[in-house]
Amino acid sequence: MKRKSFILPGFLWLMSGFHALAQSPVGFQYVNFSRVEIHDPFWTSRMDKVATVTLPVCIDQTEVKTPRIRNFEAVAAKDGRRHQGIFYDDSDVFKALEAIAYAIKMDKNPGLESKADEWIEKIAAAQLPDGYLNTYYTLNGLDKRWTDMSMHEDYNLGHMIEAGVAYFDATGKRKLLDVCIRMVDHFASLFGPGKRHWVTGHQELELALVKLYHTTSDRKYLDLANWLLEERGHGHASGYTWTEWKDTAYAQDDVPLRKVKDIKGHAVRAMYYYTGAADVAAITGDQEYLEAMKRVWEDVVFRNMYITGGIGASGSNEGFTKDYDLPNDHAYCETCASVGMVFWNQRMNALTGEAFYADVLERSLFNGALDGISYAGDQFFYGNVLASSGQHKRRDWFGTACCPANIARLLASLGNYIYSSSDRGIWIQQYISSNTVIPLKEVKVPVQVDTKYPYEGKVSIILNNEIPIETNLYLRIPGWARGEAVPGGLYRFLDPAFQWPSITVNGVKTNYTLDKGYAVLHRQWKGGDRIMLDIPMPVQRVVSDSIRYNEGKVALQRGPLVYCVEGADHEGKVFNSILPDRTAVKPVWQPNILGGTLTLEASVPALQVEPDSISVKQQWVRMTAIPYFNWANRGQNEMRVWLPRRFDGLKVD
């Protein structure tokens, strides 16, 4: 689609629709979490709970209730103990360490740093002289190491690298980072061009190596990441054991990256895979990588994504089945997959400059990922269904415990997703109350954002640069604020009427250009300039014409939040009512629900079985919809996201 310019009252819009053609990488960089301070009314309490509740839960499970840390101690002790637990349990220690690093930078729990240092000492003591570090094989037999691609040696290493980099960024301490470097050097002594082939069983090492490259500036780590990406899809795994792999497509090893067209297999592995590919492409400018990722991204978002931004409908392969196969009551939607959607869409956004990637990031963050952790911060969902008869509940922990530490590290690192910059200007990507300092054209620009998003659409941005600077300010205008539910039309607004967002600068209404989904403001900015963005947030009805499970149904969305109805607000029952199209739905602030939340209220018809169990009576009841991420915090409940628009055989106006 070619770009068109046309006039709307009060604005000059440069509209760019979704397109699949690759463009030159934009090359803006996201600001690192270590340079961002968050003071957000919505997010701060959740981040505090990660530091004070979730991470202590992870520590207790890691040290006391499971043998994860004891495995490292056993390696160092050399006392003949065998490995306990699952072969990939080391990775959960590393993910928790990464989350601890982010929390330390937020200065939320001073005791975490000493605990992290204690763990790092034990990890370092378990490293072998040749650099190898994996408690499963070290305790059970080193003769089997690097013989089975599906046994997560590389996956564990990737998470250790991410933890080492994060801890170095947060504290300046490099002991864990040096452990990682020695292990990577051990790996590189065995695998690479002219050496043995290797296909990572669970992708993760690829993206971690790019982080290591950015931290050390050593090109060999980038080259190794690129080599691992190129290894897939050529049959190289045929000479190795596949204990876990069901088929090559399960681990995205059926087609080379440059030729990939469709999303397949395990959802989390796919997300980490394509995140690593985007990281490499951002540095190398590889257009074939970019084209491939755009194709597969379209397949995910256009045909295989839930309204919550969750992905991976099937529990049997923890991943994808066929297009439009998105059941609600037995959706898998692993929390880790939604976390991966945040990672991948951030990279695609930075690589292309297209805001619709940041829109999908926002959808996955506020809905699919945030649902994975309880309001109190101490219980979790592994899968995230969109309808429940009351059998689902949050869990204290899991045998495979990737999700608790994964959602913890995402929320603790929220500062990574707010700001980005290049020599062309400053981007505000996610509306979260915070402040940072962005170096720009030899001028440091302090930026402060204040908002009550996602419940309100007003955003204040103040630039506090000491000397004037002429540059662009880019403010993301979410697709839902422009009448588009999601890119590609898998979900659409039933009535897409909306008001365009307005912008003022120092109190004066300002025209702006819309480019790639961003409002672009160009001027000479002075210290103290205040920009006010006002995004209207009407209640939107969402329908999905292509998904058979949602035929005749409607979902509710306001701003970035998807809503659901839960039995706790409806005497335990949510499957006996409907939401007719003409029924008014109003937002209502409820201070007593889970610390305060914005509900959607309506009077709707419901069916009630009479005591004689023969007749059915229609009555009007009060419907209360809560943000989807809040469900199952008040006990086991019925729940549904998609609501019938009429009773079977009876239309109700």
| pLDDT tens for each residue of 54-63 | 999 999 999 9
Q: Could you tell me the maximum CA-CA distance found in the chain, to the nearest angstrom?
A: 80
Mark whether 630 and 582 lie in a shared domain: yes
Categorize the per-residue pLDDT at 653 as very low, low, confident or very high, splitting at 50, 70 and 90.
Answer: very low
Residues 428 and 484 in one domain: yes
Average the pLDDT over 343-358 and give the result: 97
Same domain assignment for residues 516 and 556? no
| Contacts of 149 by beta carbon, 8 Å cutoff, 6+ apart | 198, 199, 200, 201, 237, 240, 241, 242, 245
Residues 527 and 557 in one domain: no
Give the per-residue pLDDT at 614: 56
| C-beta pairs of 15-21 under 8 Å, 24+ apart in sequence | 15/514, 16/514, 16/515, 16/516, 16/517, 18/356, 18/487, 18/488, 20/294, 20/295, 20/298
Could you read off the pLDDT of 599-609 as tens digits, one per residue? 999 999 998 76
Half-sphere exposure in the Cβ direction for 610 (13 Å, CA): 6
Number of alpha carbons in the 13 Å side-chain half-sphere of residue 134? 27
Tokens of residue 369, six digits: 């990922």
Whether residues 459 and 524 share a domain: the answer is yes
Q: Is 212 within the bounds of a domain?
A: no
Identify whether the C-beta of residue 213 lies closer than 8 Å to the C-beta of residue 224: no
What is the number of domains present in the chain?
A: 2
Overall size of the chain counted in residues: 653
pLDDT digits (tens, 9 = 90+) for 438-447: 999 889 999 9
With a CB cutoff of 8 Å and minimum separation 6, the contacts of 305 are 311, 326, 360, 486, 490
For position 404, what pLDDT does the model report? 96
Which residues are within 8 A (CB) of 327 and not within 5 positions of it... i.e. 6 or more apart?
313, 549
Closest CA to 91 of 133, 127, 60: 133
Structural domain contains residue 591: yes
User: Which pair of tokens denotes residue 458?
Assistant: 């007003």
Q: What span, in angstroms and rounded, lies between the C-alpha atoms of 235 and 228?
A: 13
Q: Is the pLDDT of residue 586 over 60?
A: yes
Instruction: Kindly state the tokens that stand for 550.
Output: 């949602």
Give strand pairing partners of 621. 604
Question: What is the distance between the alpha carbons of residues 384 and 327, in angstroms, rounded to a whole number?
Answer: 12
Q: Does the pLDDT of residue 7 top 60, yes or no? A: no
pLDDT of residue 17: 30
Mean pLDDT for the chain overall? 92
Across the range 173-201, mean pLDDT stands at 97
Asked, for residue 9, whether it belongs to a domain, the answer is: yes
Q: What is the 3-state secondary structure (H, E, C) of 265-307?
A: CEHHHHHHHHHHHHHHHHHHCCHHHHHHHHHHHHHHHHHCECC
Q: What is the pLDDT of residue 242?
A: 60
Q: Which residues of 36-64 are buried (b: 16+ CB within 10 A; e: fewer)?
A: bebebebbbebbbbbbebbbbbbbebbbe
Where residue 241 falls among pLDDT bands split at 50, 70, 90? Answer: low
**pLDDT score at 33:** 93
Last residue of a domain, one of 483, 508, 534: 534
Q: What is the pLDDT of residue 110?
A: 77
CA 134 – CA 211 distance, rounded (Å): 21
Percent helix, percent strand, percent coil in the chain, to nearest 5: 40, 25, 40
Which pLDDT band, with edges at 50, 70 and 90, does 650 fall under? very low
Q: What pLDDT is recorded for position 442?
A: 81
Cβ pair 279, 285 in contact under 8 A: no
| Shared domain check, 482 and 456 | yes
200 vs 285: CA distance, rounded Å: 23
Q: Please, which pLDDT band fits residue 244 given cuts at 50, 70 and 90? A: low
Any residues with CB less than 8 A from the CB of 408 and at least 6 apart, and which? 50, 54, 55, 58, 95, 96, 99, 373
Instruction: Please indicate, yes or no, if residue 274 is contained in any of the structural domains.
Output: no
- Taking 70 as the threshold, does the pLDDT of residue 240 lie above it? no
Q: Which of these three, 534, 564, 589, is where a domain ends?
A: 534
Residue 232 lies in a domain: no
pLDDT tens column, 492-518: 999 987 789 999 999 999 999 999 999
Residue 553 has what DSSP assignment?
A: E
Mean pLDDT of the 547-571 span: 97
Q: Can you read off the two tokens belonging to residue 584?
A: 């008014």
Q: Answer yes or no: do 457 and 528 share one domain.
A: yes
Dihedral, 47, 339, 64, 68 alpha carbons, nearest 10: -140
Which helix (H) or strand (E) is 589 found in, with range? strand 586-590
Please give the structure tokens belonging to residue 336.
């880790």
Q: What is the mean pLDDT of residues 249-260?
A: 93
Mean pLDDT of 88-107: 94
Q: Does 517 share its domain with 427?
A: yes
State the Cα–Cα distance between residues 450 and 43, nearest whole angstrom: 12
Question: Is residue 113 in a domain?
Answer: no
Query: What pLDDT score was predicted for residue 652?
Result: 40
pLDDT of 235: 86
Q: What is the pLDDT of residue 14?
A: 28
Same domain, 438 and 517: yes
The region of weakest confidence among 108-112, 113-117, 207-211, 372-376 is 108-112
Residues 570 and 486 in one domain: no
Same-domain pairing of 505 and 585: no
Mean pLDDT in residue range 324-350: 97
Tell me, what CATH number does 431's domain have? 2.60.40
The pLDDT tens digits of the residues spanning 354-391 come to 999 999 999 999 999 999 999 999 999 999 999 999 99
Asked if residue 454 has a cis previous peptide bond (ω within 30° of 0), the answer is yes
Task: Quote the domain boundaries for residue 557.
Answer: 552-644
pTM of the model: 0.93
Per-position DSSP letters for 106-131, written without gaps between them: HTS-THHHHHHHHHHHHHHHT--TTS
Question: How would you list the strands of the sheet with 469-476, edge to edge?
Answer: 29-30, 419-422, 425-428, 469-476, 518-525, 513-515
486 found inside a domain = yes
- Whether the pLDDT of residue 19 is over 50: the answer is no
DSSP per-residue codes, 394-438: -BS--SS-HHHHHHHHHHHTGGGGSEEEETTEEEE-S--SEEEEE
pLDDT for residue 458 is more than 60: yes
534, 561, 590: which is the final residue of a domain? 534
Residue 183 lies in a domain: no
- CA distance linking residue 459 with residue 185, whole number of Å: 47
Taking the C-alpha atoms of residue 136 and residue 86, their distance in angstroms, rounded to an integer, is 8
pLDDT bucket at 246, cuts 50 / 70 / 90: low
460 shares a domain with 564: no
Q: For 44-53, 105-114, 455-464, which range has the lowest pLDDT when averaged over its residues?
A: 105-114
pLDDT band at residue 651, thresholds of 50, 70 and 90?
A: very low
Q: Is the pLDDT of residue 159 over 80?
A: yes
pLDDT of residue 609: 63
Q: Give Cα 485 to chain centroid, integer Å.
A: 18
Instruction: Determine which helix (DSSP H) or strand (DSSP E) holds 565, and give its type and residue range.
Output: strand 561-566
DSSP sequence for 194-210: TSB----SSS-HHHHHH
Whole-number Å distance between alpha carbons of 314 and 297? 19
* Token pair 């992870």: residue: 58
Percentage of the chain surpassing pLDDT 70?
Answer: 92
Tell me the sheet residues that pair with 638: 389
